[in-house]
Amino acid sequence: MSFQRSAEVALIVITLAVVPVAAEEWHARFSVNSTDTALSLRQVDGDGNALRFEGGDSLGLSLGFERRLSDLLGLELAIDAARPENRIGVTPPGGEEISATATMDLWTARAGLNFHLLPGRPVDLYLGPTVAWLYAPGSSTFRAEVGGHTSTVTIDADDSFGWGGTAGADVDLGGGWTLGVSYTYLKAEMDFTDGTEGGERTLDLDPSTLRLGVGVRF
C-alpha cells in the first residue's frame, strides 16, 4: 500500500473517531458475567504433604455507570459480583489426595477510563485502563471425609487492590438502548489464612471477567 493510500485510510479512521456526536451524558450497563479467578497454589509442607489450592469460575452479575466526559472519553464506575468455587487438596507422602470444594463470594468495585474509538456509530468500541478493589466477605469452609471423620478447614481472604484493563463494544438498538459485551482483566494479590500459625499465604488473584448485557443512555 502506497504512502498516500495509507494516509487516506488513517485520515478516514481519525475522522470517524473525532466527528462530534450528540451523545447522552450517562450510560448504565447491566450484565451477566463469567468470572475466572485464576487462583493457583502448589507446594509441599514440612511434613512432605503436597498442598494444592485452585480457584474456579462462576456466573455473576455486573452493574456499571459511565459518565461521558467528551465524545471520546468516559469515566466508568462499576461493580461485579461472582461466587467462584475453589478447591483445596492435600496428598500425604505415598497416599491419595484428600480434596474438598467451597464457594467464595467475590465483589469487585471498578473505576476506569473508557476511550471510545467510534463514538456515535452503530457499534461503539472502547478500551482503557482499570483499577479495582476486590472484597471477599465471610469465610470459605472446606469439608472432607478423612478416616470416617469430617475434617474442616476455614479460609478467610483479605481485601485487595488490582489494576488492569477493559475493552468492550456497545451496539445501538435505538431509543437509547444498547446491547453490550465487555472484558476486564485484573492483576492483584490476595492474602488467604486458615487461622493457624504460619497458615497465611499470598496468592496471585488475576480475575478475568466477560460480560454480556443491555444498557441505556440517558
**Domains in the chain, CATH or no CATH each:** 3-217 (2.40.160.20)
SS3 track for 90-155? EECCCCCCEEEEEECCEEEEEEEEEEECCCCCCEEEEEEEEEEEEECCCEEEEEEEECCEEEEEEE
Q: Tell me the whole-structure pTM to 2 decimals.
A: 0.78
The answer to whether the beta carbons of residues 184 and 130 sit under 8 Å apart is yes
Q: Which helix (H) or strand (E) holds 5?
A: helix 3-18
Each residue's pLDDT tens digit, 156-172: 778 899 999 999 999 99
Cell 496468592 locates to 203
Average pLDDT over residues 123-143: 88
pLDDT confidence bin for 39, thresholds 50/70/90: confident
Average pLDDT over residues 110-136: 95
Each residue's pLDDT tens digit, 60-74: 999 999 999 999 999
Question: In percent, how much of the chain has pLDDT > 90?
Answer: 47
Average pLDDT over residues 27-53: 83
Mean per-residue pLDDT of the chain: 83
Q: In what order do the strands lie in the sheet with 98-103?
A: 40-44, 50-54, 85-91, 98-103
Which SS3 state, helix, strand or coil, does residue 158 take? coil
In sequence order, what are the residues at sequence separation of 6 or more whose Cβ sits closer than 8 angstroms to the Cβ of residue 178?
A: 27, 29, 170, 171, 172, 214, 215, 216, 217
Q: Give dist(CA 91, CA 88) in Å, integer.
A: 10
The answer to whether the beta carbons of residues 60 and 25 sit under 8 Å apart is no
- Identify the weakest region by mean pLDDT among 108-112, 150-154, 173-177: 150-154
Higher confidence at residue 151 or residue 92?
Answer: 92
In sequence order, what are the residues at sequence separation of 6 or more whose Cβ sits closer than 8 angstroms to the Cβ of residue 69?
A: 75
Per-residue model confidence (pLDDT) at position 67 = 96
